[in-house]
Amino acid sequence: MNLAIGDLSRRTGVKIPTIRYYEQIGLLPSPVRTEGQQRRYGSDEVRRLNFIRHARELGFEVDAIRQLLGLADDPNRCCGEAHEITKAHLDEVKDKIARLTALRDELETMVACDNRRVSECRIIEVLADHGQCLHETH
């Protein structure tokens, strides 16, 4: 395998400028180059970039991915650290779900508004009043 950056991009679904960005911030190692300075990648890089992409899809931050990659590179280390990172991330995700669910319910109520004039529109009303309410109770 001797892939140009465009091939790597197609294989992993990661856009070309993003691949170069990952190299720049040290998530991907600098690949070998042709005489004309074009990047050439092998299967190691495909695997590593897939790892990164999946972790990003799962919402891990670049810093967390850097740590996970460090662990993955050293097969003798205990996975306790990976466990911790993942656990922390899981807690955040649960929290986010809870907040989004509350938000969804609020939006459902607002959407119940149907084609009245703005002056009697629940949506505008909720947005305008709620701020006041929050202010008064805080």
The residue ranges that bind DNA (CB under 7 A) are: 4-7, 9, 15-18, 20-21, 34-39, 56, 61-63
Contacts to its own copies by CB under 8 A: 11-13, 47, 49-51, 53-55, 58-59, 68, 71-72, 74-80, 82-83, 86-87, 89-90, 93-94, 96-97, 100-101, 103-104, 106-108, 110-111, 113-119, 121, 123-124, 126-128, 130-132, 134-135, 138
What distances in angstroms separate CA 8 from CA 1, 37, 118, one per listed residue?
Answer: 10, 16, 51
**Distance of alpha carbon 59 from alpha carbon 95, whole angstroms:** 13
Q: Please check whether residue 22 is in contact with residue 45, taking contact to mean a CB–CB distance below 8 angstroms.
A: no
Closest CA to 40 of 48, 49, 30, 55: 30
Q: Which is nearer to its own copies, 20 or 104 (CB)?
A: 104
